[in-house]
Amino acid sequence: MTDSKYFTTTKKGEIFELKAELNSDKKEKKKEAVKKVIASMTVGKDVSALFPDVVNCMQTDNLELKKLVYLYLMNYAKSQPDMAIMAVNTFVKDCEDPNPLIRALAVRTMGCIRVDKITEYLCEPLRKCLKDEDPYVRKTAAVCVAKLHDINAQLVEDQGFLDTLKDLISDSNPMVVANAVAALSEIAESHPNSNLLDLNPQTINKLLTALNECTEWGQIFILDCLANYTPRDDRESQSICERVTPRLSHANSAVVLSAVKVLMKFMEMLPKDLDYYGTLLKKLAPPLVTLLSAEPELQYVALRNINLIVQRRPEILKHEMKVFFVKYNDPIYVKLEKLDIMIRLASQANIAQVLAELKEYATEVDVDFVRKAVRAIGRCAIKVEQSAERCVSTLLDLIQTKVNYVVQEAIVVIKDIFRKYPNKYESVIATLCENLDSLDEPEARAAMIWIVGEYAERIDNADELLESFLEGFHDESTQVQLQLLTAIVKLFLKKPTETQELVQQVLSLATQDSDNPDLRDRGYIYWRLLSTDPVAAKEVVLAEKPLISEETDLIEPTLLEELICHIGTLASVYHKPPSAFVEGSRGVQHKRLPGSAGSGESVESPDPGAAATETPPAVIPSQGDLLGDLLNLDLTPTTTTGPPPPTTSGMQMGAMDLLSGGLDSLVGLLHQGPPSLSASPSTTTLGGDIGGNPAMGAAFGAAPATMPASFNAPGSGGLDDLFDLGGGVGMPMGALNPPKAVWLPAMKAKGLEISGVFVRRAGVIQMEMTLTNKAMSVMTDFAIQFNRNSFGLAPAGPLQILTPLSPNQSIEPLNNLQVAVKNNIDVFYFSCQYPISMLFVEDGKMERQVFLATWKDIPNDNESQFQIKDCHLNSDAASNKLQSSNIFTIAKRTVEGQDMLYQSMKLTNGIWVLAELRVQAGNPNYTVSSISLKCRAPEVSQCVFQNYEAVLKN
Amino acid sequence: MTGSCKVLICRNYKGDVDMAEIDRFLPLLMQHEEEGLLCPVLSHGKVHFMWIKHSNLYLVSTTNKNSNASLVYSFLYKIVEVFTEYFKELEEESIQDNFVVVYELLDELMDFGFPQTTDSKILQEYITQEGAKLEVGKSKVPTTVTNAVSWRSEGIKYKKNEVFIDVIESINVLVNANGSVMSSDIVGSIKLKTMLSGMPELRLGLNDRVLFGLTGRDKGKTVVMEDVKFHQCVRLSRFDSDRTISFIPPDGESELMSYRINTHVKPLIWIESVIEKFSHSRVEIMVKAKGQFKKQSVANNVEVRVPVPSDADSPKFKTSTGQAKYVPEKNMVVWTIKSFPGGKEFLMRAHFGLPSVENNELEGKPPVTVKFEIPYFTVSGIQVRYMKIIEKSGYQALPWVRYITQSGDYQLRTNV
């Protein structure tokens, strides 16, 4: 006997019949009827009309019947909200049933009845079930909290269920813990700021303990939750990693991937020179490889994630190339992903093998796979320079197969090879041209046209080739049209005599007969360039372009970081941030990798500040270059709207004889053109040479999706919030005014950069600092504090002499100042040196008598002599210079052609320094030669001397 | 869902995806199939479909969140496993015949999108096909469901306590057309059939090199396991710290562990094939198979599968041993050798006619594949050194060990 009989119906009056049966007195008949109802429901019939009759069957002691009725309820309660109330009593009663199975069933079903009105009746039963003695009931109740939260979040919060749920994390039963974690994570996801998963070392420890005991699914919940935690330091990070690594041996692929996620994230915090870091890297490879023996769908998820992992940490799988070789029976989606990873792992060491494989694949029959294999060969050429030649010859072999899509794909990639290695492989152009007629895909046509234009001077019949495309100009796709326009302009600039007609034709096609804005804009730009200044046009259009870079499709680093935090999830499969495809997640914070413990290192540095300032690898090696190229264009002609007078352009023409004929007609045409021309050069069209290229599209196309969407504060869109603490106070003339130096690099301070300088103004020492926020978030709560220092500098306080100089302090320069700056993120420490001249007070001019007495009074041991080299000043100039730094000349005398200047200065802490400066009156220049300093605190002499040098040589 | 995407049964766990969305699935699937871009994740608007196919059924899960994709697929495969154990075959009929149980199972397997109890042996203790006979009061949640040991019930009794250990190694080989081995590895699996009473504690000892390295022993041959995966019953943290494989086994059959060994293995059965295609007239195939393993061992049920063009006809065979058969629906010749001793070499020749009208369709280049089984032998040399069984009642139990090596993904590319 099977249940399938319930699906056979009697059609007519069915509902009526069922109604009668449901109300039957016989238990057996009742149950049969309910089964029939459920069967109808299953096949999609609307049996909601039977609601009251079915609910009447709810109070039964037959468990199977009860389950069926509950199932019915879950399905139809929403459409019959008023009647759903009828069920409440039974729920409440069932929640107190002696059988835990019934209690759990009731609490499970309750949460699935998504009717707002009845939720409040469910709170009491739920509260009891959360404290039930049976773990089966508790684990079900934990999930119910998440369900209820989804329906009525406020209610759940008001009733304090969240706290009960948090308590369940400490439950003795691992399954309860796992469900509580899952429920809390789910709730936290919709309330990113609720701090629900208040993760701290204690809870983490509990979770790690439960990890060893719960089911495979529970382990996934816990690992996913752990991944949201940010350890306090590298030690904590390591200890968590150590406890998570055993999960890599779990048979369930999902457990493994979630463990990989935690490890990949926490690894960021480990110093790279740590032994454990290396151990961990080694431990990660084998499980990742084993994932490729899982079911194909899981392989696919694994491969998409491996793609991310090798971009972040290429060292993990660099020796595992072979496992990514494609098998004949792999599903297509696995094949394509494997190819991607093969290219990522391609290096000089394995390129021969990789190429042999790729060539094999390129002769397969699956079109998409073959195309991608051909493309991969091109990417290898670009990535591994040593292999370029071999790749090109492989591509030529493939072109000889004459398989149409292979040829087209090969031409597309050869174009990129040309862009990476210009003027190296043009011998193959002839072979390419032979296949011109077979090209029917826009991308291949555009690529071929680009090649012809770029190498027009070496292709004898370039004009014929391009002309042949021009005939069907309007049937071509935009991509081809744009390329054709550019290529013909290039051709014209290279061979002006024979191609005037052609260029006129294409310009008029592009500007007058087309309504595509890109095409028109580019057309007009070329037109005006050619008519205004053909020499400039040549320089602009035929200028050398930056080479394309190796990796054309790397994921932008910030996005990559975010995706690493989402390993195993849909985001990692799509390679898109969750905000791009999940509704209502726009406000949700983007996940970031934690900063590393050591000093941030260049490329590897996960430091958000550093990551943000790094230029992401794009097709164009450095954006500065491109920008520079663009700015080199002389844009002045474009600011005048309308055509420039022909005479001007005639004057500017260098190669007048070559162009005169063409130019007149060009200008003539220009006059016929629409009178108001848009004069704004668009960067996309100027970069048009590479426009329409897929690689570029990918690199730039990704940008909008990867822009960090939400900052905490409005208006902080710019990365550099400047808090200029200095201000534009004018400097006294002639005063020593050194530039600001970077005291605290952003890398060391989570994005806060401090540069500064000390100046003395109107008798006040000022520490001018520029605080630059290079991080992604707003910094607040700044405070500053100075460490105890030799001269008792204190911020914003009156200058007091607090600390006398201690005699044995000499390791650190005396003028070293240790500063702590605090903001909402952390406290940062740095030290900087201030010129001692800051401390020279204005009333530092000693009386002559006092000077003499003091000079004698200070023991000779305290005198230090210094040589000053290469300073050509006479005594007056030196004296003037020094005076602006509050070093006062008291007397001067000349002995044997040598000027002796006696000077004094007084430090803020009351120390006097006396100096005897000798100026050699040699020919032809005066030379300041040496200085003697006398001071009761001889420690400062060195600083003072340095200051002399600085001032005098400035 | 059935093959034609008729929904057989569904369960909406969270209510955040409209059930009508499933109607989008078939068109999406068809569209991707047409474009040749079939993918396990499809999306329509904000709804994402993650699906697998089992025989003629689609198992589709829908979500509108950033769900854990690997969890979803693992779970879908788990459902297949559970249903198969419940209904023998998972197919349209078995779902319809058992829809009440299926609903019950779906409720027990997952709650609000969180997988719960998925161990079919445990589920069978409280969800049975004879649901009608169960009366309330009698049925109780087995404590096992929420126990730390969620895979074994208490109170199991056997008269004779035995455990059977099968060590099965599958060899994956990929050889390219000019005969060099591109990649090879061994995937091993240790399967248990446990017939032990009570709650026994088992400890398995292998000649694992890492373990030997740890204990300082250095006797005999050891094996380096590249990666090891364990059934959830094995204490992973214990293995991680001292390489001890200790566990309380599930009752009956289970896979205790699997491992992967990367060492370069000589392909146990080496195939040289020459396939000559004379357009419009004939295809001539010559296949030489050589047993590259010890003379004492014998490979059983060897099958060499050689691809032939789809339009080939009138087959003729000549073999030095075994039988060759043309399987037109798979476009291949299957050469079967019941018993293949080590060190021996056999030959098969085949001749096919080709139609004079050329088949325009491009055909792939399927590789030659080989299937075989060699008992009493493991390629890696892995050995079970001991299996300690301790139960508090103190009974004596016997472990039995069996070794077998078989072909896994064994492909040799051809040059045609």
Structure tokens at A33: 């009827």
DSSP-assigned letter for residue B358: P
pLDDT band at A127 (very low <50, low <70, confident <90, very high): very high
Query: Measured between CA atoms, how close is B194 to chain A, in angstroms?
Result: 19
The answer to whether A707 and A558 have CB atoms below 8 angstroms apart is no
Give residue A875's pLDDT: 76
**Partner residue opposite B140 with nearest CB, options A99, A243, A297:** A99
d(CA B406, CA B375): 8
Among A294-308, A520-534, B151-165, the range of highest mean pLDDT: A294-308
| CB–CB contact B36 A213 (8 Å) | no
Among A293-297, A531-535, A782-786, the range of highest mean pLDDT: A293-297
Structure tokens at A785: 């504090």
Entry pTM = 0.70
Across A659-663, A825-829, B119-123, least confident range: A659-663
The answer to whether A320 and A306 have CB atoms below 8 angstroms apart is no
Q: Which pLDDT tens digit goes with each residue over A289-305?
A: 999 999 999 999 999 99
- Which residues from A are below 8 Å from B100, CB to CB? 3, 35, 38, 64, 68
pLDDT band at A818 (very low <50, low <70, confident <90, very high): low
Q: B400 CB near a chain A CB, below 8 Å?
A: no
d(CA B155, CA B158): 10
Q: What is the mean pLDDT of chain A?
A: 76
DSSP-assigned letter for residue A840: B
Q: B255 CB near a chain A CB, below 8 Å?
A: yes
Give residue B2's pLDDT: 63
Q: B346 CB near a chain A CB, below 8 Å?
A: no
Helices (H), A77-173: 81-94, 100-112, 116-130, 135-151, 153-158, 161-168
The arrangement of strands across the sheet holding B201-206 comes to B245-247, B201-206, B384-390
Q: Is the pLDDT of residue B125 over 90?
A: no
d(CA A681, CA A639): 10
Q: What is the rounded radius of gyration, in angstroms, for the C-alpha atoms of chain A? A: 39
Across A400-414, A859-873, B172-186, least confident range: A859-873
Q: B97 CB near a chain A CB, below 8 Å?
A: yes
Contacts of A279 (CB under 8 A, 6+ apart): none
Query: Measured between CA atoms, how close is B88 to chain A, in angstroms?
Result: 14
Question: B99-109 vs A27-42: helix axis angle to the nearest 10?
Answer: 70
Contacts of A322 (CB under 8 A, 6+ apart): A353, B182, B183
Q: Which pLDDT tens digit goes with each residue over B308-347?
A: 988 888 899 999 999 999 999 989 999 999 999 999 999 9
Across A531-545, A552-566, B5-19, least confident range: B5-19
| CB–CB contact A150 B14 (8 Å) | yes
| AA letter at A442 | P
Per the model's pLDDT, the better-predicted residue between A684 and A882 turns out to be A882
Mean pLDDT calculated for residue range B86-91: 89
Q: Is the pLDDT of residue A39 over 90?
A: no
Q: Which pLDDT tens digit goes with each residue over A491-504?
A: 999 988 888 889 99
The answer to whether B94 and B87 have CB atoms below 8 angstroms apart is yes
- Which residues from B are below 8 Å from A249, CB to CB? 227-230, 236, 239-240
pLDDT band at B292 (very low <50, low <70, confident <90, very high): very high
The answer to whether A118 and A85 have CB atoms below 8 angstroms apart is yes
pLDDT band at B1 (very low <50, low <70, confident <90, very high): low
Mean pLDDT calculated for residue range A378-384: 90
| CB–CB contact B235 A136 (8 Å) | no
d(CA B136, CA B129): 15
- Which residues from A are below 8 Å from B69, CB to CB? 301, 568-570, 572-573
Q: Which pLDDT tens digit goes with each residue over A56-101?
A: 887 777 788 888 888 888 888 878 777 778 788 888 888 888 888 8
Across A445-459, A771-785, A937-951, B313-327, least confident range: A771-785
Best of A63, A168, A316, A576 to disrupt the B interface by mutation (most B CBs within 10 Å)?
A63
Give residue B55's pLDDT: 86
Q: B392 CB near a chain A CB, below 8 Å?
A: no
| CB–CB contact B365 A364 (8 Å) | yes
Query: Measured between CA atoms, how close is A802 to chain B, in angstroms?
Result: 58
Best of B18, B44, B70, B126 to disrupt the A interface by mutation (most A CBs within 10 Å)?
B70
Q: B115 CB near a chain A CB, below 8 Å?
A: yes
% of chain B beyond a pLDDT of 90: 48
Best of A35, A102, A249 to disrupt the B interface by mutation (most B CBs within 10 Å)?
A249
**Partner residue opposite A101 with nearest CB, options B39, B74, B141:** B141
- Which residues from A are below 8 Å from B411, CB to CB? 327-328
Distance of CA A949 to the CA centre of its chain: 47
Q: Which pLDDT tens digit goes with each residue over B99-118?
A: 888 998 998 999 999 999 89
CA quadruple B231, B237, B243, B244: dihedral, nearest 10: -70
- Which residues from A are below 8 Å from B50, CB to CB? 297
Q: Which pLDDT tens digit goes with each residue over A149-179?
A: 888 888 888 888 988 998 999 888 888 999 9
DSSP, residue by residue, A546-578? PPPPS-SSPPPHHHHHHHHTTTTBHHHHHTS-G
d(CA A683, CA A530): 18
Mean pLDDT calculated for residue range A762-783: 65
The answer to whether A884 and A927 have CB atoms below 8 angstroms apart is no
Q: What is the mean pLDDT of chain B?
A: 87
Best of A41, A328, A360, A371 to disrupt the B interface by mutation (most B CBs within 10 Å)?
A328
Q: Residues A79, A85, A86, A90: is their CA dihedral positive or negative?
A: positive
d(CA A555, CA B372): 44
| CB–CB contact B40 A243 (8 Å) | no
**A64: nearest CA partner in chain B:** B131
Distance of CA A203 to the CA centre of its chain: 30
Give residue A34's pLDDT: 86
Query: Measured between CA atoms, how close is A578 to chain B, in angstroms?
Result: 6
Question: A462-470 vs A478-494: helix axis angle to the nearest 10?
Answer: 150
Among A187-191, A754-758, B213-217, the range of highest mean pLDDT: A187-191
The answer to whether B357 and B383 have CB atoms below 8 angstroms apart is no
Size of interface A-B (CB pairs under 8 A): 268
**Partner residue opposite B227 with nearest CB, options A289, A327, A578:** A289
Query: Measured between CA atoms, how close is B325 to chain A, in angstroms?
Result: 22
**A303: nearest CA partner in chain B:** B70
Structure tokens at A442: 């826009």
**Partner residue opposite B134 with nearest CB, options A64, A183, A363:** A64
d(CA A456, CA A808): 78
Q: Which pLDDT tens digit goes with each residue over A323-353?
A: 999 998 899 999 999 999 999 999 999 999 9
Structure tokens at A145: 């909290």
DSSP-assigned letter for residue B86: H
The answer to whether A435 and A411 have CB atoms below 8 angstroms apart is yes
For residue A675, say if its preceding peptide bond is cis, omega within 30 degrees of 0.
no
Give residue A497's pLDDT: 85
d(CA A595, CA A233): 10
d(CA B268, CA B213): 29
Give residue A41's pLDDT: 84
DSSP, residue by residue, B32-58? HHHTT---SEEEETTEEEEEEEETTEE
For residue A795, say if its preceding peptide bond is cis, omega within 30 degrees of 0.
no
d(CA A919, CA A892): 10
Q: Which pLDDT tens digit goes with each residue over B25-41?
A: 988 998 988 887 889 99
| CB–CB contact B135 A62 (8 Å) | yes
Mean pLDDT calculated for residue range A823-849: 74
Best of B34, B72, B146 to disrupt the A interface by mutation (most A CBs within 10 Å)?
B146
Query: Measured between CA atoms, how close is A760 to chain B, in angstroms?
Result: 58
Give residue A58's pLDDT: 78
The answer to whether A945 and A866 have CB atoms below 8 angstroms apart is yes
| CB–CB contact A251 B232 (8 Å) | yes
Give residue A734's pLDDT: 39
Structure tokens at B147: 């126990």
H or E element that contains B184: strand B181-195
Across A30-34, A94-98, A813-817, least confident range: A813-817
pLDDT band at A130 (very low <50, low <70, confident <90, very high): very high
Across A23-27, A306-310, A603-607, least confident range: A603-607
Helices (H) and strands (E) in chain A, counts: 42, 12
**B64: nearest CA partner in chain A:** A582
DSSP-assigned letter for residue A252: -
CA dist A338 → A305, A325, A327, A405 (Å):
11, 7, 10, 21
| CB–CB contact A136 B146 (8 Å) | yes
Helices (H), A191-252: 201-211, 216-226, 234-244
| CB–CB contact B111 A364 (8 Å) | no
Give residue A815's pLDDT: 57
d(CA A607, CA A745): 12
Q: Is the pLDDT of residue A583 over 50?
A: yes
Best of A298, A325, A340 to disrupt the B interface by mutation (most B CBs within 10 Å)?
A298
- Which residues from A are below 8 Å from B36, CB to CB? 332, 366-368
Instruction: Name the β-bridge partners of B227.
Output: B260
| CB–CB contact B230 A250 (8 Å) | yes
Q: B108 CB near a chain A CB, below 8 Å?
A: no
Instruction: Name the β-bridge partners of B332.
Output: B307, B327
d(CA A509, CA A527): 12
d(CA A586, CA B377): 58
Q: Is the pLDDT of residue A658 over 50?
A: no
Helices (H), B280-410: none
| AA letter at B373 | E
